[in-house]
């Protein structure tokens, strides 16, 4: 059984979930990610969207951002803002919604991203063996409404799912790594594929482990867009407050799995 305190669920819903496609009608919708998994998950909404991979350099300091939640949120924010700046420069008239995301694994006080090579993947899986860990996806949504000029709204939040691995034999770890599947996955495994063999228990949003917490994203889009000009004044658990920024200022005052 999952303990409700084990996972990040976000703020209690105050609005009924709206259908995403009508909600986003009139906006140019952009997924700031090169991940085919995020593209597939977001596509389940029926929303028409573009994919623009971010050019944001993922080099944030883990020393400055030691909490995995903050690290993932800020990386997602950087991706979304970088793409939004390019979109505005190319087309300053069309309203847009840009969504960026970043997924990391947190265990033993460490932040695990994608493995650098096969031996790094082996080390990661050995560390996760027999333990519970957190899978955190940071998400940033950048909205520029019709007639807003260079002003845009930025909302960043994170979702966390708790995953427990069975104790893993070294033979299983190496056999799995040799399939190549872990090499482009945070924490060196894919829960939606062969990596499912490793997981004994999952508490929270399974799609979050894959890299995109679809329900949470749709809830936050409902809160942002259902009322024209609506401000998000209460972040709730795992959310950053909504902030307004000037696109021409770059990251400016908006600071707090590509």
Q: Which residues contact 109 (CB under 8 A, 6 or more apart)?
A: none
3-state helix, strand, coil in the chain (%, to 5): 35, 25, 40
Tell which residue, 36, 100, 37, has the closest CA to residue 73: 100
Q: How far apart are CA 55 and CA 93, in angstroms?
A: 23
70 has catalytic annotation: no
Q: Which residues contact 100 (CB under 8 A, 6 or more apart)?
A: 32, 33, 54, 76, 77, 78, 79, 80, 81, 83, 139, 140, 142
Alpha helices in 91-181 (DSSP H): 118-128, 170-178
Conformational region of residue 207, where left means phi above 0, alpha means psi within -120 to 50, and beta covers everything else: alpha
Q: Per the residue annotation, which of 102, 120, 171, 256 is the catalytic one?
A: 102
For residue 64, the number of C-alpha atoms closer than 13 Å in the C-beta half-sphere is 7
* Six-digit token string for 45: 């909404």
Conformational region of residue 246, where left means phi above 0, alpha means psi within -120 to 50, and beta covers everything else: beta
Active site positions, annotated: 102
């Amino acid at each position: 059984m999952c303990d409700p305190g084990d996972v990040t669920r976000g703020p209690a819903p105050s609005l009924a979930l709206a259908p995403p496609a009508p909600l986003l009608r009139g906006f140019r919708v952009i997924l700031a990610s090169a991940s085919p998994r995020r593209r597939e998950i977001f596509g389940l909404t029926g929303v028409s969207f573009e994919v623009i991979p971010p050019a944001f350099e993922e080099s944030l300091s883990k020393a400055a951002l030691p909490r995995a939640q903050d690290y993932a949120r800020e990386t997602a924010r950087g991706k979304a803002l970088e793409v939004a700046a390019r979109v505005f420069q190319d087309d300053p008239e069309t309203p847009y919604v840009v969504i960026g995301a970043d997924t990391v694994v947190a265990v033993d006080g460490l932040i695990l991203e994608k493995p650098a090579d096969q031996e790094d993947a082996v080390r990661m899986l050995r560390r996760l063996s027999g333990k519970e860990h957190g899978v955190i996806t940071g998400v940033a949504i950048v909205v520029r409404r019709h007639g807003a000029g260079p002003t845009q709204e930025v909302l960043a939040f994170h979702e966390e799912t708790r995953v427990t691995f069975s104790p893993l034999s070294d033979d299983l770890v190496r056999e799995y790594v040799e399939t190549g599947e872990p090499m482009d996955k945070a924490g060196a495994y894919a829960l939606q594929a062969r990596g499912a063999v490793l997981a004994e228990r999952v508490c929270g949003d399974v799609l979050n482990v894959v890299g995109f917490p679809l329900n949470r994203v749709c809830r936050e889009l409902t809160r942002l867009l259902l009322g024209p000009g609506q401000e998000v004044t209460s972040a709730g658990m795992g959310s950053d407050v909504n902030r307004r920024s000037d696109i021409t200022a770059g990251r400016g005052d908006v600071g707090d799995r590509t």
